Structure 1
Amino acid sequence: MTLPRALLSLLRPLSLLLLACLSPLAHSERLRIVSDDWAPYLFQENGQPKGIDYEVTNEVFKRLGVDVQWEFMPWKRCLAMIQQGLADGVMDIFRVDSRQAYMVYPDEPMSDVEFVLYQSRTRRHAVQALEDLAGLTVGTSPGYAYGNAFNESTLFRRESAPSHEANFGKLALGRIDLLITDRKVGRYLSRRLGLDQQVEALPLVIARQTQYLGLARKPGREQLAQAFSDELRRFKLEPGYAAINARYIGEDAIPFAVEQQERSTR
């Protein structure tokens, strides 16, 4: 639910008060945030970080006076780094109860994910439910969770690839029958790889999940998470937020106020 502008304006003094109580670490050192390539949300291009959630996060932390250092690595390593306290935050992670012991989440999510299946236009499959995947091979990404029904099914084979781009390459070459990814990620990558006329998304939605900035649980991080959440909620109401989305997904840009969807895990 989107808060009224008047209420949001009243929250700004509270955010400033919270920032005053933040750990000195947040002010004296950069926050080290890790993630994998997850275009168009967050990715590297010519060695430079880009993406919707990258730009939004930088703007929010800039307003809070917090400096950020970004590092990209495989998703499994991201999870290990945050769990071991070797990184200060991880971007675009799903909210999971088992991570509460070592991670703090802002209340306001970064964005929503809709996992769908992609197939080759020349090797179509009549898939309307998970049961229709029987006997097929579906390309996945290591460390990703697509909901219990998909993850635990024994009807089909899951084959992991080192990157989302590799999965699309395998699909185009016929080495897998389908792949699973977020709808926006699939649309963005298929266009960038020149495969948008060769592959297509199926209507079936495997899972809808909400992704967040996750902060390592350290002194002062609860206050930082609250301040980040308040400022992110305000920024989503501004034209600048829609402009960032439009740069990456054009006509598919989401409106200022983002509806909440069900939560799960990446």
Structure 2
Amino acid sequence: MLWSLTLQAQQNRSLTCLSAAYPPYVIDDDGLTGIDVDVVREAGRRLGLDIKIRLEPWKRLEEALSAGLRDCVFSYFKTDPRKAYAMYTSVPLHITQYTLFVRTDQAPQTRTLQDLFGKTIAVNRGFQTTPEFESARRQGQIKVIEVGRDEQSMKMLALGRVHAVLTNADVGQHVIRKLGLDDIEPLMPPMSITPAYLVLRKASEFETLRDQFNWALFEILKDGTYERIRERYIDETGSD
């Protein structure tokens, strides 16, 4: 009953959530769609929230959220610095498998990040990577080029302008198929497996909403809605 009354009181409220284009999770083709977009909208529907979703580059999103200028962002990794200004849901939107992609003719000689020391790797601007990757970057063991979209980095890899790309495994595979690049492949196992969350600005007025999102996201997982959403985009991208 308490949940029902709370949700009724929240009817007709709106919330703007921001993300960056990140297929198959956030797809900017003839309207915003994607796994995470559909899950966030479904959570909003269950909570009586009119959720408006807008796109913004990752780096600008991070700066704006840390300055208290954004109320809702997805999908974020959980880090200690971000906990100072962001509240995370306890249920993730998806699991990120950060994976190195290389040209197929280089794959036999490249199995780990150490094999790429002295080489150039492309990553999305503003993305949180992995401790191992950041350590190698700080120590100058790798050269990193930051790009705006994964399509750009994969094209650079195909042309030999970089030696590898670090990105989400599902995203990388989606981009490779979309661009018809049959000479690029992921290195397995992935460098890291990390949950990615919806986050709200750290403020007392959002604590109840954070708890409500937890409830809605758990129900979406429990009743099979998440799997149905994911399968829809898996079928579209041809992955398994």
Q: What are structure 2's unaligned runs of at least 5 residues? A: none
Instruction: Return the alpha-carbon distance in structure 2 between the equivalents of residues 146 and 14 of structure 1.
Output: 40
**Structure 1 vs Structure 2 CA RMSD:** 2.0
Query: Within the alignment, does 1:185 sit opposite 2:171 as a pair?
Result: yes
Distance 1:51 1:104, change over 3 A: same
**Which residue in the other structure is 1:7 paired with?**
none
**Which residue in the other structure is 1:220 paired with?**
205
Query: Within the alignment, does 1:166 sit opposite 2:149 as a pair?
Result: no
Aligned residues: 235
TM-score by length of 2: 0.90
Query: Within the alignment, does 1:71 sit opposite 2:59 as a pair?
Result: no
Q: What are structure 1's unaligned runs of at least 5 residues? A: 1-12, 254-266
What is the DSSP-based 3-state SS (H/G/I as helix, E as strand, rest coil) of the residue aligned with 2:190? strand
Distance 1:227 1:151, change over 3 A: same
Instruction: Tell me by how many angstroms 1:18 deviates.
Output: 5.1
8 Å contact kept, 1:122–1:198: yes
1:103-252 equivalence runs, <5 A: 103-124=86-107, 126-153=109-136, 154-195=140-181, 197-250=182-235, 252=239
Instruction: Return the alpha-carbon distance in structure 2 between the equivalents of residues 147 and 225 of structure 1.
Output: 26
Aligned amino acid, residue 237 of structure 1: K
Instruction: Tell me by how many angstroms 1:49 deviates.
Output: 0.7
Identity rate, percent: 28
What is the DSSP-based 3-state SS (H/G/I as helix, E as strand, rest coil) of the residue aligned with 1:41? coil
Q: Which runs of at least 4 in structure 1 moved beyond 6 Å after TM superposition?
A: none
Instruction: Tell me by how many angstroms 1:229 deviates.
Output: 0.7
**Which residue in the other structure is 2:16 paired with?**
32
Aligned amino acid, residue 66 of structure 1: L
What is the DSSP-based 3-state SS (H/G/I as helix, E as strand, rest coil) of the residue aligned with 1:205? coil
Instruction: Return the alpha-carbon distance in structure 1 between the equivalents of residues 148 and 62 of structure 2.
Output: 16
Instruction: Tell me by how many angstroms 1:122 deviates.
Output: 3.4
Instruction: Return the alpha-carbon distance in structure 2 between the equivalents of residues 43 and 181 of structure 1.
Output: 16
Aligned amino acid, residue 231 of structure 2: A
Instruction: Return the alpha-carbon distance in structure 2 between the equivalents of residues 42 and 227 of structure 1.
Output: 23
